[in-house]
Structure 1
């Protein structure tokens, strides 16, 4: 048998095996690899979303103490260091809180002298909005920040050169820069070995817990929120986020910019 015929038979065999395995691959993909029903803390369906979104129910988050478990859960899972007071200006944050006037400045002109109604005068949860049209992605020269098909905006820490163009491009202040080595402020006991630590000179931000979604788990902050945060596929009309957006008065941050944030606030 000559070499060309032998090569043809070899590749034909590989192709046949791949075709035979296709139904199995499709079955695993459609179920997210899960052989059993949904578990506690997992999303109701193990599938690839059309567009992941979050709904923040501000009626259930009133005091700073309400936010502490959410922020702690996020930062612990993602190895976000707690910097000492003298390094406060270099703080790294994935989710945080701010006042109404800074969160929704476009609404301030509705009240005389910018006085926010008492019912709205409280902290608000902030994070990356995972915009449908993210300006941070457009300005990144190395494609270190990129957008997945399901709408999540991610960071490739290895490709980040620390130019901070994405920070300048983001109108929501959702990114942090590591001015110093963040690993210096994490002990071995604190480090989550399932998520990478970062180095000095790179930008980081909320990733909608993409690594947890890959396992069918909800974002860490959502799990810790006890129902104050909802998460799911906004393209699925039966999802809880779709129902929440449809059945409540919701607002998004800086809608006039046209970025189409995928974080909604029930007020």
Structure 2
């Protein structure tokens, strides 16, 4: 795996990954994962690829490999339900998924076990670690998410098998930006440990989801692997450089075809009042 150097430039900040070279989605994800680095103000994203490149820029900054987990497209489709449309264009009204209420994203985000924390430049102790969840990306480009919440559970424990655990529950709204900070709590031996001496397990779920689209829009997955959701990030509260690290994120599987069969069923003059009104968050 190659780690590239990066200089903080004068251009506008960006929170999206920069692709280094033309590589396949599956190749990048499987072989090297995402390498990220953040500065105090501007988040910097870098991908290391097997290319004969000495360096991208001159001044090195922090870089590391983040944990990437594929979300499950087939189970995401199940959550959409099966709306019944009033004609091909649903009588000009928005199409709601599911047709009634909301759905949970069951099994969409696989858990991951025995994962190492990102290697930090500053010697981070677990008790000083701040965590949060970002959900700026989506599973579907269409339909558009209207309501939903992500909740993630993390459990940290020592690599040497010493007794004790520490846990953290993180959550964020899928639509409204949530800036809540979360911390680990648990056994003092684990809380006083450095991240390099710990592993963690992580699981995430989505609850209360609903979506909608315009009649003329076609359903479509998000297929760009770098647009993962949910994304767990961390920062050492005592780090003088204020570096932010991506811990783990759920990503579209490599080679995912963004087009899929719309589960909505078209019936002439369907009696489906649930699809005649806009979803209210």
- Quickly name the TM-score band, shorter chain normalised: under 0.3
Q: Given the two structures, how large is their TM-score scaled by the length of structure 1?
A: 0.23
Q: Given the two structures, how large is their TM-score scaled by the length of structure 2?
A: 0.22
* Greater Cα radius of gyration, structure 1 or 2: 1
More strand by share: 2
More helix by share: 1
